[in-house]
Amino acid sequence: MQTIDIRYQLNLYWRKIIVLGFLLLISFSSTFAQARFKEISQSGQDDKLVSYGFFLATHTSSWRLKYTEAFVSDPAAANIQSIMPVFTPGFSLGFLATLRIHDQLNLVFTPKVAFYEFRTDINTFSNVPDAEINETNFYTTETVINEATMVEFPLFFKYKAQRFNNSRMFFTAGGSAMFRTKDQEEADIESIATLGRDFTIDLGLGFDMYFKYFKFSPEVRFSHGLLDMYKPEATDPAYASSIQSLRRKSITLYLNFQ
């Protein structure tokens, strides 16, 4: 049986922590905005054709891994019990430019720099003699970490509800092109080699909070990679044949200011 590592158990709850933090942030911001500013705020430049701002963000990311048919039919042939991607935190920052199409519809461009860490646990069967195998040494775990700094160019539509006093809810939908700053030769020396570009589909929801001098817009966005990032020919041969594809996924909490 697999031993429990409290650090990995905490990693499993990163998605819930981000969503819970987002809900608490919305509740606090809404209460503070309504209590502090009774008048209707004109901040955020909603009536301008083009407006600008910046954002800070924190995310948790992981691989969507697909095994090869050979591994599924006989995992013992590769001496591997399982390959488990783990959600791992990171952060990003960037600017946003908003094009007003309608009072309730915007086109938003948010170029950013993001810092990712993809953690993968590879569990292999132990070489301990059968007579000595127990719950703690049935298999061994190797952790592989892929670090990447990405330059991203998200473009999406933002649909906003009717404004109520100094707040309004919104939904976002769009996509992003992303490029790794590390060159491919450097990436190829990692135990699990990956490619350096991806395209994603993104969906999100959040609230616009209008304060006296600025607009604050917390948002949770879900991102799914479209391209297979896996490069088997450069991956460690010990488990290269067990992985068929790797696609990225992430959940991000954005703190937007305009």
pLDDT of residue 1: 36
Residues 6+ apart with CB under 8 A from 257: 53, 54, 55, 214, 215, 216, 217
Name the token pair of 186: 């450097």
Please report, as a single letter, which amino acid is at residue 180: R
pLDDT of residue 73: 80
**Residue 246, in any domain of the structure:** yes
> Is 31 exposed, middle or buried, given 0-12, 13-18 or 19+ CB atoms closer than 10 A?
exposed
Is 0.85 surpassed by the pTM of this model? Answer: no
pLDDT of residue 126: 66
Higher pLDDT, 195 or 7: 195
**Residue 175, in any domain of the structure:** yes
**Residue 92, in any domain of the structure:** yes
Domain carrying residue 198? 40-126+137-257
Residues 188, 234: contact at Cβ < 8 Å?
Answer: yes
**DSSP E strand stretches across 110-239:** 112-125, 139-160, 167-180, 197-210, 215-225
Tell me 230's DSSP state.
B
* Predicted confidence (pLDDT) per residue in 45-93, tens digit: 788 899 999 999 999 999 999 999 888 887 666 678 889 999 999 999 9
**Residue 71, in any domain of the structure:** yes
Q: What is the CATH number of the domain that holds 72?
A: 2.40.160.20
* Predicted confidence (pLDDT) per residue in 193-247, tens digit: 999 999 999 999 999 999 888 899 999 999 999 999 999 999 998 888 899 999 9
* Predicted confidence (pLDDT) per residue in 83-114, tens digit: 999 999 999 999 999 999 998 999 999 999 99
**Residue 4, in any domain of the structure:** no
Higher pLDDT, 156 or 10: 156
The count of structural domains within the chain is: 1
**Residue 159, in any domain of the structure:** yes
Higher pLDDT, 181 or 135: 181
**Residue 34, in any domain of the structure:** no
* Strand-pair partners of 59: 90, 252
pLDDT of residue 166: 87
**Residue 109, in any domain of the structure:** yes
